[in-house]
Amino acid sequence: MSNLVQDNRTDPKVVFAMVTQDPVRSTIQNVVVNFGQTLELHVSPETFLTRLSEADLVVIDISSPEGRICLPQVSLSNNHRPVIVLASSDQRAAALESQRLGAFAVLPSPATEDELTYHIGHALTTLAERFDPRKLGLQHRMISLGNDFALITPVALSLVETTLPPGDSRKTSVALGLVEVITNAIEHGNLGISYEQKREALRGSVFYNLASERAAMSPWKDRVVRIKSCVDPTRSVISYEVEDQGDGFDWRNLPDPTDPNNINARHGRGILMASHAFAAMRYNELGNSVILELPLDDGATEEE
């Protein structure tokens, strides 16, 4: 059973509330309608969970048995669907666990209208800041990155968030693949550290000293990695091009990380890892530029 409340504004977000206390239900209804959004008030766990994939924002009151049934079956860490949890004063352990698992906010039950207004408003603002690249036209972006290892992961995460659709299950693997490719572009490309040099430096635990020294010396210090991303809805393809200013390498004869002689090596697996994250991986002739491609849509249903 659900009670549907709607507003006529375009593209409202859908708020699901598993709340059984009448005063709280009434308060949530007032807050959501005032924000001009769509609300479904649920009392049946079965209906709530069956329809959960349609929700943009979820409110669950675990002070009720129905809420406690639903909570374990809702992903609290799904960053495309914030979850607000209401917990009574004697549920401190459950409230802390909800926070640890990634709840957007944990409020006392019953929550006041001011508390609900603040946190629901915050969640709706967060949702509004996200966009779905599938709904936009052709997009290009270029990043010029110096030889700063501390920026590699933030750059990779930024690229993923601005190219992959919300809720895409591939985000982690694509981010890790980009980290590996960008790292290789700096280490082996711009800094000119060969596979053998890195292996020896790692054995002596001096690799990062070697990399830092080269990053501060000519001719390596002024080199940059250029990263281009492209979202092409007409071809339904996302692509990333990573180009360094090094001398390139023989990408046709890569060391095999599964070879018994390399099985204990502390490096050499980056390209293999990246190849699993993308549908296509194409180097230029020189080997200082690689294009990584994957379908725009992963074809997976969003996690409930």
> Per-domain residue ranges for the chain?
2-129, 133-295
pLDDT of residue 129: 62
CATH 3.30.565.10 for the 133-295 domain, yes or no: yes
Task: Kindly report, residue by residue over 22-33, the tens digit of the pLDDT.
Answer: 999 999 999 999
pLDDT of res. 280: 94
Q: What is the pLDDT of residue 261?
A: 54
Give the model's pLDDT for residue 15.
95
Average pLDDT, the chain: 85
pLDDT band at 101 (very low <50, low <70, confident <90, very high): confident
What mean pLDDT comes out for the span 176-185? 93
**pLDDT for 143:** 96
pLDDT at 113 over 90: yes
The answer, yes or no, to whether residue 285 has pLDDT greater than 50, is yes
24-33, 40-49, 208-217, 218-227: least confident range: 208-217
- Looking at residue 131, its pLDDT comes to 65
202, exposed or middle or buried, with CB in 10 Å at 0-12, 13-18, 19+? middle
What does the pLDDT read at residue 10? Answer: 42
How confident is the model over 219-234, as a mean pLDDT?
Answer: 94
The confidence score (pLDDT) of residue 255 equals: 59
Q: What is the mean pLDDT of residues 149-170?
A: 87
Question: For position 155, what pLDDT does the model report?
Answer: 92
Fold of the CATH domain 2-129: Rossmann fold (3.40.50)
Q: What is the pLDDT of residue 4?
A: 47
The stretch 199-216 carries a mean pLDDT of 86
Residue 137: what pLDDT? 83
108 bridge partner residues: 87
Whether 2-129 and 133-295 share one fold: the answer is no
**Pure H helices in the chain:** 22-34, 45-50, 65-70, 92-100, 113-129, 152-161, 171-184, 195-203, 207-215, 270-277
| Partner residues linked to 18 by β-bridges | 42, 60
**Beta 105-108 vs 83-87: how paired, if at all?**
parallel
Give the Å distances, CA to CA, from 134 to 8, 80, 109, 221, 232.
25, 15, 39, 38, 8
Report the distance separating Cα 60 and Cα 19, nearest Å: 6
Position with higher pLDDT, 135 vs 243? 243
Lowest average pLDDT, out of 94-98, 120-124, 242-246, 297-301, goes to 297-301
Count CB neighbours of 5 within 10 A: 16
Task: Give dist(CA 13, CA 145) in Å, integer.
Answer: 37
